[in-house]
């Protein structure tokens, strides 16, 4: 078993009954995963089923997608579970990941104050919504942490020719933290924010926040699972990692993703398509 740098352990959880004494007795993989899989409860639901089926346990590091991809680049995990297609494909192109499969999707929603100072409610296009926020100088709270959610938000700003900066735009702030903390900040300051649907469903301290935009196709949030290339990182447990990837994209794995619910609502929708 490889040990990850101490700096990454603040968001580290072990999703297994125990850390095994001998790897040959208890096969173990390390997964660098987006926080959404942890905060939503999805992996707590899925991984015991994977272990029961295969006998393989998973040691999971929950971080933003950007950091998960960096962990993979350094060879400090076997598998990455992430949601930033542009960066994912770049890793494949560079030979740092040898396998990439799309697994499931959810959606982003735009949350904002009940009084909706930017007058977004009823808008169907997220680009129009963000432009209205910028024009109104209404408070927008960004994760700003290099996560998949942060990357999706930044891409939309770029599409409309805007790229607000907390150093220049007083109405735009970055928390440099996860989704839960960002939602807390938006609720406490009565600001707008982009959130994944599972995080929003789980979030109880909404105060005066509500969903002001939902349903734009641009807000589809695609997740993929990737194997760190064992030719570049020979310590990678390729066979065990592929067992995890194959299970997630099997009929059993896809069915289990579909069955997972948050407060009675399905949040993730399996979409693996066999080549």
What pLDDT does residue 24 have? Answer: 54
Determine the Cα–Cα distance for residues 38 and 41; give it in Å rounded to an integer: 5
What pLDDT does residue 73 have? Answer: 96
Determine the Cα–Cα distance for residues 162 and 205; give it in Å rounded to an integer: 30
Per the CB < 8 A criterion, the answer to whether 32 and 68 are in contact is yes
Determine the Cα–Cα distance for residues 230 and 187; give it in Å rounded to an integer: 44
Q: What is the pTM of this model?
A: 0.86
What pLDDT does residue 23 have? Answer: 45
What pLDDT does residue 107 have? Answer: 95
Per the CB < 8 A criterion, the answer to whether 227 and 99 are in contact is yes
User: What are the mean pLDDT values of the chain's consecutive 10-residue runs (275 residues total)?
Assistant: 40 41 72 94 97 97 95 97 96 97 97 96 93 97 93 95 93 94 96 94 92 94 97 97 98 98 94 94
CB-based contacts of 119, cutoff 8 Å, min separation 6: 132, 136
Q: Which two tokens stand for residue 274?
A: 């066999």
Q: Mind listing the domains of the chain with CATH numbers?
A: 6-105+222-270 (3.40.190.10), 107-219 (3.40.190.10)
């Amino acid at each position: 078993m490889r040990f990850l740098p101490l700096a990454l352990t603040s968001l580290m959880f072990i999703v297994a009954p125990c850390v095994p004494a001998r790897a040959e007795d208890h096969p173990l993989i390390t997964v660098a995963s987006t926080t959404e899989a942890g905060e939503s409860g999805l992996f707590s639901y899925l991984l015991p089923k994977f272990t029961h089926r295969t006998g393989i346990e998973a040691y999971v590091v929950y971080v933003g997608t950007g950091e998960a991809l960096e962990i993979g680049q350094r060879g400090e995990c076997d598998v990455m579970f992430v949601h930033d297609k542009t960066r994912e494909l770049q890793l494949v192109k560079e030979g740092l990941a040898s396998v990439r499969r799309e697994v499931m999707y959810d959606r982003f929603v735009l949350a904002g104050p009940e009084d909706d100072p930017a007058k977004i409610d009823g808008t169907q296009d997220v680009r129009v919504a963000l432009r209205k926020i910028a024009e109104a100088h209404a408070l927008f709270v960004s994760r700003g942490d290099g996560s998949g959610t942060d990357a999706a938000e930044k891409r939309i700003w770029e599409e409309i020719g805007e790229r607000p900066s907390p150093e220049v735009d007083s109405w735009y702030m970055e928390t440099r933290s996860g989704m839960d903390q960002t939602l807390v900040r938006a609720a406490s300051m009565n600001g707008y924010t982009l959130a994944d649907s599972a995080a929003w469903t789980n979030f109880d301290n909404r105060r005066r926040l509500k969903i002001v935009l939902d349903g734009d196709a641009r807000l589809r949030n695609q997740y993929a699972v990737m194997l760190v290339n064992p030719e570049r990182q020979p310590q990678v447990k390729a066979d065990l990692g592929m067992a995890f990837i194959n299970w997630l994209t099997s009929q059993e794995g896809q069915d289990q993703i579909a069955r997972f619910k948050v407060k009675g609502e399905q949040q993730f929708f399996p979409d693996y398509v066999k080549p």
